[in-house]
Amino acid sequence: MLTAAGKDASHLFESVTAGGPLSRWSILFSAADDRLTAPPTPPADAPRFLDAFQQAVSRQQPLNDGFAADDWLATQGLPPAFPFLGGWTFFLAYEMAAEIEPTLDLPPFELGAESGFPRAIAEYHPAALVRDHDSGEDIVVHDGSARGAKLAEGLIAAWVQAGKTAGRDQSRGEVELAELHPPAGAPHRERVARVRDYLFAGDVFQANLSHAWHFRLAPGVSSQAVYESLCRRNPAPFAAWYRQPEGEIISSSPERLLRVADGRAETRPIAGTRRRDPDPERDQELIEQLCAHPKERAEHVMLIDLERNDLGRVCEPGSVRVDELMVVESYAQVHHLVSNIVGTLPASTSPLAALAACFPGGTITGCPKVRCMEILAELEQAGRGPYTGSLGYLSNHGRLDSNILIRSVFLSPDGRGEFRTGGGIVADSDPARELDETYQKARGVLDALGGEAALTAGVPVG
């Protein structure tokens, strides 16, 4: 329906998995009325993007004029958990960490810089179509402005048109690659060994090292086809199709970075993964191995402590706690070990301040976070761009939700693309096994891109 809505819509944040509290809402955002950006390589005297974003949010009503969201939702017959009433979407590249922690010197994201893709984007959307997967309802909302009402009408028209074509084959075809350039193995093995040197020297306890896969889509392959293929093969609760003139981000992320609602902040780190097995008994054995593995549990607890510390910087003293500890979330391709950490956010602390405290997520940097990012910048020698950055929204009634951009693809306007895979390196990591893990993690995205077939079908492979 995003394509059918045309100029009246911009981005789609979609919960593709079925059931559970993480998968209740999908949001189709209207066209944007306001846009803030940070350039790919900002000058030294550039204004802070997050400060400008906060100032723009503060100008919007009714966020800061005592708007009683719960009362208004009740009068409209909307559930108390309703996520979006008009407001902002945002994108933060991984390199935005250097604005939050100015001591960091992070390399630029080259493919994004070539197309002018901003390092950060915030856009104001007066209207949205929200799907409640629990009730099956589609609800169009707007911010009360004349512009919002007009955009809402466009979304309704797109919804009606989508209903007329329901049941027809709306697929945009299979995805094919013209070129595929996997990362070389030897450099990654050498970098794993270098990380282990830092571990033995006591610099860090764990670091999440990654490398990039580059490709070019075959002529005629659309970004919609890529999004549909990725979500079909890797359904996830924090999927997104994010469209900008300078490029697009297509994501099937399973991981929440931060949610803020009703004075409560929560982050949900994933640390620990096993591939699924088609045999049910073997699949259950893999779950049990994941839950019982002492190394996985030790790393997970370490990352919980990191996230508790991040939330503790902005939450009420003594309020941060773990309310879900090492539960298993199962997806089409993998099982994940997940915990949920929550805290009480003071009324004086904005959702964006909480976002800055948690960004980027510790599960994709390592511990301690800042030193890990310094080491990763030295060894990876390339900007990550969207990878391990975040997409999210901030509603006019103060609710924020955001993902961590893993299992995500960046597409430039000329059909070139990039995605990254990585893994947590610890003292006893074996370089060859760590390299193999990154290839295994790439399989879901490669399959969605047609890259698994491309490796054996004559597509030029670098």
Q: Which helix (H) or strand (E) holds 26?
A: strand 25-30
Residue 433 DSSP one-character state = H
Is 407 an annotated catalytic residue?
A: yes
Residue 275 DSSP one-character state = E
How many angstroms from the chain centroid is the CA of residue 27?
15
Options 94, 198, 242, 387, the catalytic residue: 387
Residue 313 token pair: 């910087």
Residue 427 token pair: 């003292």
Phi, psi of 320 (to 5 degrees): -80, 130
> Which residue is it, tokens 């945002």?
90
Options 17, 37, 363, 388, the catalytic residue: 363
User: Taking the CA of residue 111 as centre, how many other CA atoms within 13 Å lie in the half-sphere pointing to its CB?
Assistant: 25
For residues 258 and 354, give the distance between their C-alpha atoms in angstroms, rounded to a whole number.
8
User: Among 266, 262, 252, which Cα is nearest to 395's?
Assistant: 262
List beta partners, residue 268.
256
Contact assessment for residue 410 and residue 443, using Cβ atoms and an 8 Å cutoff:
no
User: Strands 390-395, 416-425: parallel, antiparallel or unpaired by DSSP?
Assistant: unpaired
C-beta atoms surrounding 327 within 10 Å:
11
Backbone CA torsion sign across 84, 90, 91, 97: negative
For residues 356 and 387, give the distance between their C-alpha atoms in angstroms, rounded to a whole number.
17
Options 336, 384, 397, 416, the catalytic residue: 336
Contact assessment for residue 178 and residue 417, using Cβ atoms and an 8 Å cutoff:
no
For residues 385 and 261, give the distance between their C-alpha atoms in angstroms, rounded to a whole number.
28
Options 125, 308, 384, 407, the catalytic residue: 407
List beta partners, residue 130.
27, 139
User: Among 307, 401, 319, which Cα is nearest to 360's?
Assistant: 307
The rounded radius of gyration (Å) of the Cα atoms in the chain is 21
Options 424, 444, 450, 451, the catalytic residue: 424
Residue 166 DSSP one-character state = T
Is 147 an annotated catalytic residue?
A: no
Contact assessment for residue 138 and residue 28, using Cβ atoms and an 8 Å cutoff:
no
Contact assessment for residue 359 and residue 257, using Cβ atoms and an 8 Å cutoff:
yes
Residue 207 token pair: 């670091």
Known catalytic residues are 336, 363, 387, 407, 424
